[in-house]
């Protein structure tokens, strides 16, 4: 599955909150917030194929 589709499925509507260096691979780990509420919704690294949704 394409990574952006995985993000759509897991996180849904989102915008980038900030980007840090991924602690695992050194690539970009992106934190996402909700477009309207600005609540932090999750983080992801496309290089690690990693997505986490915050509850
Ligand atoms: Zn990574």
Q: Kindly report each contact of residues 19-24 with a partner whose C-beta sits within 8 Å and lies 24 or more positions away, as own/partner.
A: 22/47, 22/48, 24/48, 24/50
Stretch 7-25: mean pLDDT: 97
Distance in Å, CA 38 to ligand 1 centroid: 24
Q: What is the 3-state secondary structure (H, E, C) of the chain?
A: CCHHHHHHHHHCCCEEEEEEECCCCCCEEEEEECCCCCCEEEEEECCCCEEEECC
Beta-bridge partners for 45? 50
Q: How far apart are CA 36 and CA 28, in angstroms?
A: 24
- pLDDT at position 46 is 97
Q: Is pLDDT above 80 for 1?
A: no
51 alpha carbon – ligand 1 mean position (Å): 10
- pTM of whole model > 0.85? yes
pLDDT in tens, 36-53: 999 999 999 999 999 999
């Amino acid at each position: 599955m394409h990574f952006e589709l995985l993000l759509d499925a897991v996180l849904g509507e989102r915008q980038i909150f900030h980007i840090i260096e991924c602690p695992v691979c050194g690539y970009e780990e992106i934190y996402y917030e909700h477009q309207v509420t600005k609540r932090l919704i999750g983080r992801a690294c496309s290089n690690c194929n990693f997505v986490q949704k915050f509850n």
